[in-house]
Structures are given as C-alpha cells and as structure tokens.
Amino acid sequence: MEPKKISAPLTDEMIMDLKAGDNLLISGVIYTGRDAAHKKLVELLEKGEEWPVDLTGQIIYYVGPTPAKPGEVIGSAGPTTSGRMDSYTPAVLKNGVKAVIGKGARDEATRNAFQEYKGVYLGATGGAGALLAKRIKEAEVVAYEELGPEAIRKLVVEDFPVTVINDAHGNDLYQEGRKQYAKA
C-alpha cells in the first residue's frame, strides 16, 4: 500500500482517518522533545502557565540525536523508547499535541489518551538513525537550549517515514501484528 502523505498542523478529521498499520510520510514541521523537555512542559501545565512554543495540532518526536558533523543539519536521529514519556503524554495530548513519534509499547493510560484526545502514536524505525537523519532538512532550537541534546528543536522534514501504532480508534499495531503472526 502506498504511504499516505501528511503535514502538521493536524486536525481531528485527519487523525480519525489514520489507522494502526498505515505507513505515512511526514513533510513539514515536527518538534523534538524527550524526558527532560516533557517534564518541563507538564510542570508548566500544572502551574497553569503557557508553553514556550505553541504545539497545537503539532507532532512531537522523541529523539536525542548524535552531534552533527560539520556541514550537516543534524547527527543520527532515530527514535528513543517512548515508554519513558508515558507519564507525561496524556497531559501533552490534552493540551493540543496531535501526534507523537517514538518506538516501543505505551502503557494503558497513554493508549486510552490517544482515543480520548484524538491523537496518534507513530513509530519510526528504531536503530535507523542514519536513514532518518537524511529526511531532516532543517533543525533549530526553539526552547530549553540549556538542555543540550534534549532541547526542543523545530525540525523541517521531508518524507519522514513512520507507521501508525496506536490510532484514535483504540487499535494497537503491536498487539494486532503480533497476534496475526504468532504460531503456537
């Protein structure tokens, strides 16, 4: 099946159209954020304060890249394990983020949050950091520069390949794919 092409900002209608197992190519803007940035964003929400960057309808990529070689936009940039962001993700989705990119299983509360807030969990290929970096055309720190590799970066990507793992209808590719190919 040909991959679907998508770009942020994502609307509820665009999200509802995505199904677990769909291959997507993302072009346009995505934002990076992992453990430390998530902690800060959720602390701001708890205090009732604004985020340093408006992420309504946007996509967050869980990544901690290697240093860029001279002349390169970014170093190797594959996904990190998403489970570490589980405790923050429902609040992040509630505040308007529509999609997150990572790898590995999410807990039940997070899977439910994708349904409740109409969001999707997308998988990028873990360990394909060199290939994924090729699809990143621009990178710029937009918040929390002091966090170094964990700062929030605005990336411009072209045909960035991802697969829908948890859709907004309650489907889970990890569970369904495994069931389909398991043998006793």
Partner 1 sequence: MREVDVKLIEDAVAEMSKEANYYLGDDVIQAFEKGLKEEESPVGKEMFNQLLENARISRDEEVPMCQDTGFAVLFVELGQDVRLVGGDFNEAINEGVRRGYTDGYLRKSIVSDPVERVNTKDNTPAIIHVDMVPGDKIKLTLAPKGGGSENMSAVGMLKPAQGAKGLVDFVVDTASKAGPNPCPPIVVGVGFGGTFEKVAYLAKKALLRPIGDPNPDPFYADLEKEMLEKINNLGIGPQGYGGRFTALGVQIEVFPCHIASMPAAVNINCHASRHKERVI
Active site residues: 38
By the rule CB under 8 A, 130 interacts with partner 1: yes
Angle 83-85-88 from CA coordinates, rounded to 5°: 135
Where do the DSSP E strands lie in the chain? 4-6, 23-32, 59-61, 99-102, 120-123, 136-143, 152-166
By the rule CB under 8 A, 2 interacts with partner 1: no
Count of residues touching partner 1 (by CB under 8 A): 46
The one segment of 42-50, 89-97, 108-116, 174-182 that binds partner 1 by CB under 8 A: 174-182
Exposed (0-12), middle (13-18) or buried (19+): which is 18, by Cβ within 10 Å?
buried
By the rule CB under 8 A, 184 interacts with partner 1: yes
Least Å from the CB of residue 153 to partner 1: 13
Is 158 within 8 Å of 135 (Cβ atoms)?
A: yes
By the rule CB under 8 A, 177 interacts with partner 1: yes
Q: Among 76, 95, 112, 115, indicate the residue that binds partner 1 (CB under 8 A).
A: 76
Query: Rounded CA gap, 167 and 95, in Å?
Result: 18
The greatest distance separating any two alpha carbons of the chain, rounded to the nearest whole angstrom, comes to: 52
Least Å from the CB of residue 179 to partner 1: 7
Give the x-and-dash track for 17-56 against partner 1 (CB under 8 A): ----x-x---------------------------------
Residue at 121: amino acid letter: Y
By the rule CB under 8 A, 87 interacts with partner 1: no
Query: Rounded CA gap, 37 and 43, in Å?
Result: 10
Q: Which residues bind partner 1 (CB under 8 A)?
A: 1, 21, 23, 63-69, 72, 75-78, 80-81, 83, 103-105, 123, 125-131, 133-134, 149, 161, 163, 165, 173-174, 176-184
